Chains A and B, each alone.
Chain A
Protein backbone atom coordinates (compact mmCIF):
# COMPACT_ATOMS: atom_id res chain seq x y z
CA UNK A 1 0.00 0.00 0.00
CA UNK A 2 1.42 3.35 -1.02
CA UNK A 3 -0.87 5.88 0.65
CA UNK A 4 -1.78 5.67 4.28
CA UNK A 5 -5.54 5.73 4.75
CA UNK A 6 -5.50 8.61 7.21
CA UNK A 7 -2.85 11.25 7.69
CA UNK A 8 -3.42 13.88 10.34
CA UNK A 9 -0.78 16.52 10.77
CA UNK A 10 -0.72 19.04 13.61
CA UNK A 11 -4.52 19.15 13.90
CA UNK A 12 -5.80 21.99 16.07
CA UNK A 13 -9.44 22.58 16.86
CA UNK A 14 -10.75 25.47 18.95
CA UNK A 15 -14.30 26.13 20.02
CA UNK A 16 -15.59 29.59 20.86
CA UNK A 17 -16.31 30.04 24.56
CA UNK A 18 -17.53 32.99 26.61
CA UNK A 19 -13.94 34.16 27.11
CA UNK A 20 -12.47 33.55 23.67
CA UNK A 21 -11.54 30.33 21.93
CA UNK A 22 -11.06 27.17 23.97
CA UNK A 23 -8.68 24.58 22.53
CA UNK A 24 -10.14 21.07 22.19
CA UNK A 25 -7.39 19.51 20.07
CA UNK A 26 -3.89 20.94 20.36
CA UNK A 27 -1.60 19.59 17.68
CA UNK A 28 -2.50 15.97 16.99
CA UNK A 29 -0.54 14.08 14.35
CA UNK A 30 -1.20 10.51 13.42
CA UNK A 31 -1.05 8.18 10.47
CA UNK A 32 -3.04 5.04 10.03
CA UNK A 33 -3.42 2.43 7.32
CA UNK A 34 -5.97 -0.34 7.09
CA UNK A 35 -5.37 -1.27 10.68
CA UNK A 36 -7.18 -1.05 13.97
CA UNK A 37 -6.28 2.08 15.87
CA UNK A 38 -7.68 2.87 19.28
CA UNK A 39 -7.94 6.45 20.50
CA UNK A 40 -8.36 6.57 24.24
CA UNK A 41 -8.85 9.41 26.66
CA UNK A 42 -11.26 10.89 29.18
CA UNK A 43 -14.22 13.12 28.40
CA UNK A 44 -12.90 16.34 26.97
CA UNK A 45 -9.57 14.92 25.81
CA UNK A 46 -10.40 15.72 22.19
CA UNK A 47 -10.71 12.14 20.96
CA UNK A 48 -14.19 12.48 19.47
CA UNK A 49 -13.40 15.91 18.02
CA UNK A 50 -10.45 14.35 16.17
CA UNK A 51 -12.74 11.72 14.67
CA UNK A 52 -15.38 14.28 13.71
CA UNK A 53 -12.77 16.59 12.15
CA UNK A 54 -11.78 13.78 9.80
CA UNK A 55 -15.36 13.65 8.50
CA UNK A 56 -15.70 17.45 8.64
CA UNK A 57 -18.64 17.09 10.97
CA UNK A 58 -17.65 19.79 13.44
CA UNK A 59 -20.03 22.69 14.03
CA UNK A 60 -19.31 25.68 11.75
CA UNK A 61 -18.10 27.90 14.58
CA UNK A 62 -15.22 25.51 15.36
CA UNK A 63 -11.82 26.76 14.19
CA UNK A 64 -9.84 23.96 12.54
CA UNK A 65 -6.17 24.21 11.59
CA UNK A 66 -3.59 21.69 10.44
CA UNK A 67 -3.90 19.13 7.71
CA UNK A 68 -6.24 16.16 7.46
CA UNK A 69 -5.93 13.70 4.62
CA UNK A 70 -8.04 10.67 3.89
CA UNK A 71 -6.58 8.43 1.18
CA UNK A 72 -4.70 11.45 -0.16
CA UNK A 73 -7.77 13.72 -0.23
CA UNK A 74 -7.32 17.03 1.57
CA UNK A 75 -10.34 17.21 3.87
CA UNK A 76 -10.08 20.96 4.52
CA UNK A 77 -10.04 21.80 0.82
CA UNK A 78 -12.64 19.26 -0.35
CA UNK A 79 -15.87 20.63 -1.81
CA UNK A 80 -19.14 19.87 0.00
CA UNK A 81 -19.97 17.49 -2.85
CA UNK A 82 -16.65 15.68 -2.43
CA UNK A 83 -17.28 15.42 1.30
CA UNK A 84 -20.71 13.91 0.71
CA UNK A 85 -19.07 11.33 -1.52
CA UNK A 86 -16.70 10.53 1.32
CA UNK A 87 -19.06 10.41 4.30
CA UNK A 88 -20.83 7.12 4.58
CA UNK A 89 -19.49 5.82 1.28
CA UNK A 90 -15.83 5.71 2.32
CA UNK A 91 -15.88 6.61 6.00
CA UNK A 92 -18.56 5.11 8.22
CA UNK A 93 -19.37 6.45 11.68
CA UNK A 94 -20.92 4.45 14.52
CA UNK A 95 -21.99 6.55 17.49
CA UNK A 96 -22.49 5.76 21.15
CA UNK A 97 -26.20 5.40 21.59
CA UNK A 98 -28.36 3.76 18.91
CA UNK A 99 -31.41 5.26 20.62
CA UNK A 100 -30.36 8.68 19.39
CA UNK A 101 -28.59 7.83 16.15
CA UNK A 102 -31.35 5.77 14.54
CA UNK A 103 -34.42 7.41 13.06
CA UNK A 104 -37.21 6.64 15.53
CA UNK A 105 -40.01 6.69 12.95
CA UNK A 106 -38.44 4.43 10.34
CA UNK A 107 -38.10 0.67 10.63
CA UNK A 108 -34.58 -0.68 11.08
CA UNK A 109 -34.68 -2.45 7.73
CA UNK A 110 -35.90 0.63 5.86
CA UNK A 111 -33.00 2.63 7.30
CA UNK A 112 -30.43 0.08 6.21
CA UNK A 113 -32.05 -0.21 2.78
CA UNK A 114 -31.99 3.57 2.47
CA UNK A 115 -28.28 3.68 3.32
CA UNK A 116 -27.63 0.99 0.74
CA UNK A 117 -29.74 2.63 -1.97
CA UNK A 118 -28.20 6.08 -1.42
CA UNK A 119 -24.73 4.83 -2.14
CA UNK A 120 -25.21 1.85 -4.40
CA UNK A 121 -28.24 2.74 -6.53
CA UNK A 122 -30.46 -0.22 -7.13
CA UNK A 123 -34.09 -1.22 -7.12
CA UNK A 124 -36.19 -1.27 -3.96
CA UNK A 125 -36.12 -5.07 -4.08
CA UNK A 126 -32.32 -5.12 -4.29
CA UNK A 127 -32.07 -2.67 -1.40
CA UNK A 128 -34.38 -4.85 0.67
CA UNK A 129 -32.39 -7.99 -0.09
CA UNK A 130 -29.13 -6.19 0.67
CA UNK A 131 -30.52 -4.97 4.00
CA UNK A 132 -31.63 -8.51 4.90
CA UNK A 133 -28.20 -9.85 4.07
CA UNK A 134 -26.53 -7.10 6.13
CA UNK A 135 -28.74 -7.90 9.10
CA UNK A 136 -27.64 -11.46 8.71
CA UNK A 137 -23.98 -10.42 8.60
CA UNK A 138 -24.26 -8.53 11.88
CA UNK A 139 -25.45 -11.82 13.38
CA UNK A 140 -29.06 -10.97 13.92
CA UNK A 141 -30.79 -14.32 14.25
CA UNK A 142 -34.17 -13.23 13.03
CA UNK A 143 -33.50 -10.61 10.29
CA UNK A 144 -37.12 -10.59 9.15
CA UNK A 145 -38.45 -9.52 12.51
CA UNK A 146 -35.74 -6.91 13.04
CA UNK A 147 -36.20 -5.55 9.50
CA UNK A 148 -39.76 -4.52 10.36
CA UNK A 149 -39.03 -3.38 13.92
CA UNK A 150 -38.81 0.25 14.95
CA UNK A 151 -35.75 1.34 16.94
CA UNK A 152 -37.69 1.53 20.23
CA UNK A 153 -38.60 -2.14 19.84
CA UNK A 154 -34.94 -3.15 19.76
CA UNK A 155 -32.53 -3.62 22.66
CA UNK A 156 -29.38 -1.49 22.83
CA UNK A 157 -27.18 -4.26 21.45
CA UNK A 158 -29.62 -4.97 18.66
CA UNK A 159 -29.85 -1.26 17.80
CA UNK A 160 -26.09 -1.02 17.62
CA UNK A 161 -26.01 -4.00 15.25
CA UNK A 162 -28.52 -2.23 13.01
CA UNK A 163 -26.31 0.87 13.13
CA UNK A 164 -23.28 -1.18 12.13
CA UNK A 165 -25.20 -2.89 9.32
CA UNK A 166 -26.19 0.53 8.02
CA UNK A 167 -22.61 1.77 8.10
CA UNK A 168 -21.34 -1.32 6.31
CA UNK A 169 -23.92 -1.04 3.51
CA UNK A 170 -21.82 1.27 1.31
CA UNK A 171 -18.66 -0.80 2.02
CA UNK A 172 -16.52 2.01 3.41
CA UNK A 173 -12.72 1.89 3.71
CA UNK A 174 -12.67 3.23 7.22
CA UNK A 175 -15.03 2.80 10.15
CA UNK A 176 -14.91 5.35 12.94
CA UNK A 177 -16.56 3.89 16.02
CA UNK A 178 -17.05 6.57 18.67
CA UNK A 179 -17.74 4.86 22.01
CA UNK A 180 -19.77 2.20 20.18
CA UNK A 181 -20.43 0.14 23.29
CA UNK A 182 -20.50 2.62 26.18
CA UNK A 183 -24.28 2.50 26.35
CA UNK A 184 -24.31 -1.31 26.49
CA UNK A 185 -23.54 -3.71 29.29
CA UNK A 186 -20.47 -5.86 29.57
CA UNK A 187 -21.63 -9.04 27.82
CA UNK A 188 -23.20 -7.19 24.90
CA UNK A 189 -20.19 -4.89 24.77
CA UNK A 190 -17.87 -7.80 24.10
CA UNK A 191 -20.22 -9.25 21.47
CA UNK A 192 -20.47 -5.98 19.54
CA UNK A 193 -16.73 -5.37 19.62
CA UNK A 194 -16.03 -8.90 18.46
CA UNK A 195 -18.50 -8.35 15.65
CA UNK A 196 -16.87 -5.06 14.59
CA UNK A 197 -13.48 -6.70 14.84
CA UNK A 198 -14.49 -9.57 12.59
CA UNK A 199 -16.26 -7.46 10.00
CA UNK A 200 -13.37 -5.01 9.79
CA UNK A 201 -10.82 -7.80 9.45
CA UNK A 202 -12.85 -9.70 6.85
CA UNK A 203 -13.33 -6.64 4.71
CA UNK A 204 -9.82 -5.30 5.14
CA UNK A 205 -11.11 -1.98 6.43
CA UNK A 206 -9.43 0.47 8.75
CA UNK A 207 -10.98 0.94 12.19
CA UNK A 208 -10.66 3.96 14.44
CA UNK A 209 -12.07 2.93 17.80
CA UNK A 210 -12.63 5.91 20.08
CA UNK A 211 -13.25 5.05 23.71
CA UNK A 212 -12.51 5.95 27.30
CA UNK A 213 -11.91 2.31 28.18
CA UNK A 214 -8.23 1.58 27.80
CA UNK A 215 -8.15 -2.17 28.50
CA UNK A 216 -11.14 -2.74 26.24
CA UNK A 217 -9.61 -0.84 23.35
CA UNK A 218 -6.25 -2.50 23.67
CA UNK A 219 -7.91 -5.87 23.40
CA UNK A 220 -9.47 -5.11 20.03
CA UNK A 221 -6.89 -2.81 18.39
CA UNK A 222 -3.39 -3.15 16.99
CA UNK A 223 -2.25 0.21 18.19
CA UNK A 224 -3.46 2.66 20.82
CA UNK A 225 -3.07 6.44 20.91
CA UNK A 226 -3.69 7.89 24.36
CA UNK A 227 -5.01 11.45 24.38
CA UNK A 228 -4.87 13.92 27.22
CA UNK A 229 -6.11 17.51 27.02
CA UNK A 230 -6.12 17.65 23.23
CA UNK A 231 -2.81 15.91 22.62
CA UNK A 232 -1.54 12.41 22.01
CA UNK A 233 0.64 11.73 25.03
CA UNK A 234 1.54 8.17 24.14
CA UNK A 235 1.28 5.89 21.15
CA UNK A 236 1.87 2.25 21.81
CA UNK A 237 1.28 -1.18 20.28
CA UNK A 238 -1.71 -2.69 22.06
CA UNK A 239 0.20 -5.78 23.14
CA UNK A 240 2.82 -3.59 24.86
CA UNK A 241 0.24 -1.66 26.86
CA UNK A 242 1.40 -3.15 30.14
CA UNK A 243 4.76 -1.51 29.41
CA UNK A 244 3.24 1.94 28.88
CA UNK A 245 5.52 4.66 30.19
CA UNK A 246 3.46 7.83 30.33
CA UNK A 247 2.18 8.45 33.86
CA UNK A 248 -1.28 9.31 32.48
CA UNK A 249 -1.57 5.98 30.67
CA UNK A 250 -0.32 4.20 33.79
CA UNK A 251 -2.80 6.13 35.91
CA UNK A 252 -5.71 5.14 33.66
CA UNK A 253 -4.68 1.50 33.91
CA UNK A 254 -4.20 1.58 37.68
CA UNK A 255 -7.41 3.29 38.71
CA UNK A 256 -9.71 0.48 37.54
CA UNK A 257 -11.01 -1.85 40.24
CA UNK A 258 -9.90 -5.38 39.42
CA UNK A 259 -11.39 -8.72 40.27
CA UNK A 260 -8.10 -10.48 40.80
CA UNK A 261 -6.42 -7.82 42.91
CA UNK A 262 -8.51 -6.40 45.77
CA UNK A 263 -7.40 -3.01 47.04
CA UNK A 264 -8.61 -0.94 49.94
CA UNK A 265 -8.37 2.28 47.96
CA UNK A 266 -8.14 2.94 44.28
CA UNK A 267 -5.20 5.06 43.21
CA UNK A 268 -6.53 8.38 41.99
CA UNK A 269 -5.06 9.99 38.95
CA UNK A 270 -2.83 12.89 40.00
CA UNK A 271 -2.73 15.24 37.06
CA UNK A 272 0.64 16.77 36.39
CA UNK A 273 0.55 20.24 34.78
CA UNK A 274 3.65 19.22 32.83
CA UNK A 275 1.50 16.79 30.79
CA UNK A 276 -0.07 19.83 29.20
CA UNK A 277 3.23 21.15 27.89
Chain B
Protein backbone atom coordinates (compact mmCIF):
# COMPACT_ATOMS: atom_id res chain seq x y z
CA UNK B 1 0.00 0.00 0.00
CA UNK B 2 2.64 2.50 1.07
CA UNK B 3 6.29 2.23 0.20
CA UNK B 4 9.06 4.56 1.25
CA UNK B 5 12.56 4.06 -0.17
CA UNK B 6 15.66 5.94 0.97
CA UNK B 7 13.78 9.02 2.05
CA UNK B 8 16.07 11.96 2.76
CA UNK B 9 14.96 15.35 4.05
CA UNK B 10 17.18 18.34 4.71
CA UNK B 11 16.22 21.68 6.23
CA UNK B 12 19.17 23.89 5.37
CA UNK B 13 22.12 22.45 7.25
CA UNK B 14 19.96 20.06 9.26
CA UNK B 15 19.77 16.56 7.90
CA UNK B 16 16.41 15.62 9.44
CA UNK B 17 15.71 12.29 7.76
CA UNK B 18 18.51 10.02 6.56
CA UNK B 19 17.67 7.17 4.21
CA UNK B 20 14.45 5.93 5.76
CA UNK B 21 12.75 2.96 4.08
CA UNK B 22 9.67 0.98 5.03
CA UNK B 23 6.67 -0.69 3.43
CA UNK B 24 3.17 -0.99 4.79
CA UNK B 25 0.51 -3.41 3.60
CA UNK B 26 -3.13 -2.40 3.08
CA UNK B 27 -5.06 -2.44 6.36
CA UNK B 28 -1.92 -2.52 8.43
CA UNK B 29 -1.08 -0.12 11.25
CA UNK B 30 2.50 0.98 11.41
CA UNK B 31 4.10 2.96 14.25
CA UNK B 32 7.01 5.40 14.12
CA UNK B 33 8.59 5.93 17.51
CA UNK B 34 11.38 8.23 18.61
CA UNK B 35 12.31 11.26 20.64
CA UNK B 36 11.72 14.86 19.58
CA UNK B 37 13.99 15.66 16.68
CA UNK B 38 14.37 12.04 15.60
CA UNK B 39 12.62 12.84 12.32
CA UNK B 40 9.51 10.77 12.83
CA UNK B 41 7.03 13.60 12.19
CA UNK B 42 9.09 14.77 9.22
CA UNK B 43 8.69 11.36 7.57
CA UNK B 44 4.94 11.62 8.04
CA UNK B 45 4.78 15.15 6.69
CA UNK B 46 6.90 14.27 3.67
CA UNK B 47 4.55 11.39 2.95
CA UNK B 48 1.54 13.70 3.31
CA UNK B 49 3.07 16.11 0.78
CA UNK B 50 3.57 18.86 3.34
CA UNK B 51 7.34 19.13 2.88
CA UNK B 52 8.95 20.15 -0.39
CA UNK B 53 12.43 19.14 -1.36
CA UNK B 54 12.79 15.55 -0.20
CA UNK B 55 14.72 12.94 -2.12
CA UNK B 56 14.16 9.22 -2.42
CA UNK B 57 11.06 7.40 -3.58
CA UNK B 58 7.60 7.14 -2.09
CA UNK B 59 4.62 5.35 -3.54
CA UNK B 60 1.00 4.84 -2.66
CA UNK B 61 -0.86 1.83 -4.08
CA UNK B 62 1.98 1.31 -6.51
CA UNK B 63 1.86 4.85 -7.88
CA UNK B 64 4.97 6.95 -7.33
CA UNK B 65 4.45 10.16 -5.39
CA UNK B 66 5.97 13.32 -6.78
CA UNK B 67 6.62 16.65 -5.16
CA UNK B 68 3.09 17.80 -6.05
CA UNK B 69 0.10 15.66 -5.19
CA UNK B 70 -3.21 15.56 -7.00
CA UNK B 71 -6.70 15.64 -5.58
CA UNK B 72 -7.07 11.85 -5.56
CA UNK B 73 -4.06 11.66 -3.29
CA UNK B 74 -5.49 14.11 -0.78
CA UNK B 75 -8.78 12.30 -0.86
CA UNK B 76 -7.22 8.95 -0.05
CA UNK B 77 -4.63 10.19 2.46
CA UNK B 78 -5.72 12.24 5.46
CA UNK B 79 -3.87 13.41 8.51
CA UNK B 80 -4.69 14.06 12.19
CA UNK B 81 -2.38 16.39 14.07
CA UNK B 82 -1.26 16.48 17.68
CA UNK B 83 -2.79 19.68 18.83
CA UNK B 84 -6.53 19.94 18.24
CA UNK B 85 -6.36 23.60 19.35
CA UNK B 86 -4.01 24.43 16.52
CA UNK B 87 -5.43 22.27 13.78
CA UNK B 88 -9.05 23.47 13.77
CA UNK B 89 -10.00 26.87 12.40
CA UNK B 90 -10.96 28.94 15.47
CA UNK B 91 -13.58 30.99 13.65
CA UNK B 92 -15.36 28.19 11.85
CA UNK B 93 -18.10 26.06 13.33
CA UNK B 94 -17.70 22.30 13.36
CA UNK B 95 -20.26 22.21 10.54
CA UNK B 96 -18.12 24.44 8.34
CA UNK B 97 -14.92 22.57 9.28
CA UNK B 98 -16.51 19.30 8.16
CA UNK B 99 -18.12 20.80 5.06
CA UNK B 100 -14.79 21.99 3.66
CA UNK B 101 -13.29 18.64 2.64
CA UNK B 102 -16.64 17.77 1.02
CA UNK B 103 -16.55 20.96 -1.03
CA UNK B 104 -12.91 20.43 -2.02
CA UNK B 105 -13.54 16.91 -3.22
CA UNK B 106 -16.91 17.75 -4.77
CA UNK B 107 -18.86 15.24 -2.70
CA UNK B 108 -22.61 15.60 -2.53
CA UNK B 109 -25.02 14.83 0.28
CA UNK B 110 -23.11 17.05 2.70
CA UNK B 111 -25.96 17.11 5.21
CA UNK B 112 -26.10 13.35 5.63
CA UNK B 113 -22.34 12.94 5.49
CA UNK B 114 -21.71 15.48 8.27
CA UNK B 115 -24.36 13.92 10.45
CA UNK B 116 -22.90 10.48 9.90
CA UNK B 117 -19.34 11.69 10.49
CA UNK B 118 -20.27 13.15 13.87
CA UNK B 119 -22.11 10.00 14.81
CA UNK B 120 -19.13 7.89 13.82
CA UNK B 121 -16.83 9.69 16.24
CA UNK B 122 -19.51 9.64 18.97
CA UNK B 123 -20.15 13.37 19.04
CA UNK B 124 -23.60 14.64 19.84
CA UNK B 125 -25.41 16.45 16.96
CA UNK B 126 -25.50 19.68 19.02
CA UNK B 127 -21.72 19.94 18.64
CA UNK B 128 -22.22 20.61 14.95
CA UNK B 129 -22.91 24.32 15.32
CA UNK B 130 -20.32 25.02 18.00
CA UNK B 131 -16.91 26.62 17.62
CA UNK B 132 -13.71 24.76 18.57
CA UNK B 133 -13.18 26.88 21.71
CA UNK B 134 -16.52 25.69 23.04
CA UNK B 135 -15.35 22.06 22.95
CA UNK B 136 -13.10 20.07 25.25
CA UNK B 137 -9.73 18.76 24.01
CA UNK B 138 -11.14 15.26 23.48
CA UNK B 139 -14.13 16.58 21.53
CA UNK B 140 -11.85 18.71 19.39
CA UNK B 141 -9.67 15.70 18.55
CA UNK B 142 -12.85 13.81 17.58
CA UNK B 143 -13.75 16.66 15.23
CA UNK B 144 -10.28 16.45 13.70
CA UNK B 145 -10.73 12.70 13.20
CA UNK B 146 -14.20 13.23 11.72
CA UNK B 147 -12.75 15.79 9.30
CA UNK B 148 -10.03 13.37 8.27
CA UNK B 149 -12.53 10.57 7.65
CA UNK B 150 -15.36 12.48 5.99
CA UNK B 151 -13.92 12.14 2.48
CA UNK B 152 -13.50 8.36 2.90
CA UNK B 153 -9.70 8.10 2.86
CA UNK B 154 -7.95 4.76 2.77
CA UNK B 155 -4.85 5.96 4.62
CA UNK B 156 -4.82 7.82 7.93
CA UNK B 157 -1.65 9.56 9.10
CA UNK B 158 -1.70 10.20 12.84
CA UNK B 159 0.86 12.56 14.34
CA UNK B 160 0.84 12.20 18.14
CA UNK B 161 -2.96 12.16 18.13
CA UNK B 162 -3.34 11.72 21.90
CA UNK B 163 -0.29 13.45 23.38
CA UNK B 164 -2.23 16.61 24.23
CA UNK B 165 -5.06 14.72 25.95
CA UNK B 166 -5.71 13.47 29.48
CA UNK B 167 -5.13 9.74 29.95
CA UNK B 168 -8.85 9.04 30.35
CA UNK B 169 -9.60 10.92 27.12
CA UNK B 170 -6.61 9.26 25.47
CA UNK B 171 -8.19 5.88 26.21
CA UNK B 172 -11.44 6.99 24.55
CA UNK B 173 -9.69 8.34 21.46
CA UNK B 174 -7.49 5.22 21.13
CA UNK B 175 -10.58 3.01 21.35
CA UNK B 176 -12.29 5.17 18.74
CA UNK B 177 -9.30 4.91 16.39
CA UNK B 178 -9.18 1.14 16.85
CA UNK B 179 -12.90 0.85 16.04
CA UNK B 180 -12.71 3.11 12.98
CA UNK B 181 -9.70 1.28 11.70
CA UNK B 182 -11.48 -2.05 11.91
CA UNK B 183 -14.75 -0.71 10.48
CA UNK B 184 -13.18 1.07 7.53
CA UNK B 185 -10.14 -1.15 6.91
CA UNK B 186 -7.88 1.85 7.17
CA UNK B 187 -4.15 1.75 6.68
CA UNK B 188 -2.60 3.83 9.48
CA UNK B 189 0.74 5.33 10.31
CA UNK B 190 0.97 6.45 13.91
CA UNK B 191 3.78 8.71 15.06
CA UNK B 192 4.29 8.90 18.81
CA UNK B 193 6.96 9.12 21.46
CA UNK B 194 4.84 6.88 23.67
CA UNK B 195 5.80 3.27 23.06
CA UNK B 196 2.77 1.91 24.90
CA UNK B 197 0.38 3.89 22.71
CA UNK B 198 2.06 2.66 19.54
CA UNK B 199 2.07 -0.92 20.79
CA UNK B 200 -1.62 -0.62 21.56
CA UNK B 201 -2.66 0.52 18.09
CA UNK B 202 -0.05 -0.93 15.72
CA UNK B 203 1.13 -4.33 14.57
CA UNK B 204 4.57 -3.21 13.52
CA UNK B 205 6.82 -0.29 14.32
CA UNK B 206 10.08 1.39 13.46
CA UNK B 207 12.23 3.15 16.02
CA UNK B 208 13.92 6.32 14.82
CA UNK B 209 16.96 8.11 16.18
CA UNK B 210 18.69 11.11 14.63
CA UNK B 211 16.84 10.78 11.35
CA UNK B 212 17.49 7.07 10.86
CA UNK B 213 15.40 3.98 11.44
CA UNK B 214 17.53 2.08 13.93
CA UNK B 215 15.20 -0.89 14.27
CA UNK B 216 11.97 -2.20 12.77
CA UNK B 217 10.09 -4.96 14.51
CA UNK B 218 6.59 -6.22 15.18
CA UNK B 219 4.78 -5.40 18.37
CA UNK B 220 4.65 -9.01 19.55
CA UNK B 221 8.46 -9.12 19.43
CA UNK B 222 8.60 -5.80 21.20
CA UNK B 223 6.37 -7.01 24.00
CA UNK B 224 8.35 -10.24 24.23
CA UNK B 225 11.50 -8.20 24.82
CA UNK B 226 13.18 -9.19 21.55
CA UNK B 227 14.29 -5.66 20.67
CA UNK B 228 17.94 -5.62 19.58
CA UNK B 229 18.99 -2.01 19.26
CA UNK B 230 20.13 -0.27 22.46
CA UNK B 231 17.96 2.77 21.75
CA UNK B 232 14.84 0.59 21.48
CA UNK B 233 15.82 -1.10 24.71
CA UNK B 234 16.25 2.29 26.38
CA UNK B 235 12.79 3.36 25.28
CA UNK B 236 11.28 0.11 26.53
CA UNK B 237 13.05 0.39 29.88
CA UNK B 238 11.84 3.95 30.22
CA UNK B 239 8.28 3.03 29.35
CA UNK B 240 8.21 0.22 31.90
CA UNK B 241 9.91 2.40 34.45
CA UNK B 242 7.30 5.11 34.20
CA UNK B 243 4.44 2.64 34.14
CA UNK B 244 5.56 1.67 37.63
Contact = CB atoms under 8 A, between A and B. Distances in A.
Given A187-B35, A262-B199, A269 B243 contact: no
A117 B170 CA distance: 44
B141 to A, nearest CB: 13
B185 interface: no
Interface in B99-116: none
B6 interface: no
Interface string A147-158: 000000001100
A189 to B, nearest CB: 8
A215 B171 CA distance: 15
A271 to B, nearest CB: 9
A213 to B, nearest CB: 7
A71 to B, nearest CB: 32
Size range of the interface on A? 35 or more
B214 to A, nearest CB: 14
Interface in B11-51: 35-37
A216 B242 contact: yes
A268 B138 CA distance: 13
A212 B166 contact: yes
A259 B240 contact: yes
A241 interface: yes
B236 interface: yes
A257 B242 contact: no
B238 A42 contact: no
A267 interface: yes
Contact of B35 (A185, A257, A262): A185
A3 to B, nearest CB: 33
A109 B193 CA distance: 30
Contacts of B35: 185-188
A251 B168 contact: yes
Contacts, number: 98
Contacts of A6: none
Interface string A208-221: 00001111101100
B241 A190 contact: yes
A67 to B, nearest CB: 30
B171 A258 contact: no
A265 B175 CA distance: 6
A186 B193 contact: yes
A257 B168 contact: no
Interface centre among A155, A256, A264 (most CB of B within 10 A): A256
B197 interface: yes
A256 B194 CA distance: 11
B168 A255 contact: yes
B130 interface: no
Contact of B199 (A242, A252, A257): A257
Contacts of A268: 168, 171-172, 175
Given A187-B35, A266-B171, A269-B171, A215 B242 contact: yes
Interface in B167-191: 167-172, 174-175, 178
Contacts of A216: 242
Given A186-B235, A187-B238, A259 B175 contact: no
18 contacts: A43-B136, A184-B36, A185-B193, A186-B193, A186-B235, A187-B238, A212-B166, A214-B167, A216-B242, A255-B171, A256-B167, A256-B196, A256-B243, A260-B240, A262-B219, A262-B223, A268-B172, A269-B171
Given A186-B194, A252-B167, 7 more contacts: A42-B168, A155-B37, A256-B196, A262-B219, A266-B171, A268-B168, A269-B171
List of 10 A-B pairs having minimum Cβ-Cβ separation, nearest first = A257-B200, A255-B171, A266-B171, A185-B193, A269-B168, A42-B166, A257-B196, A215-B244, A185-B36, A259-B196
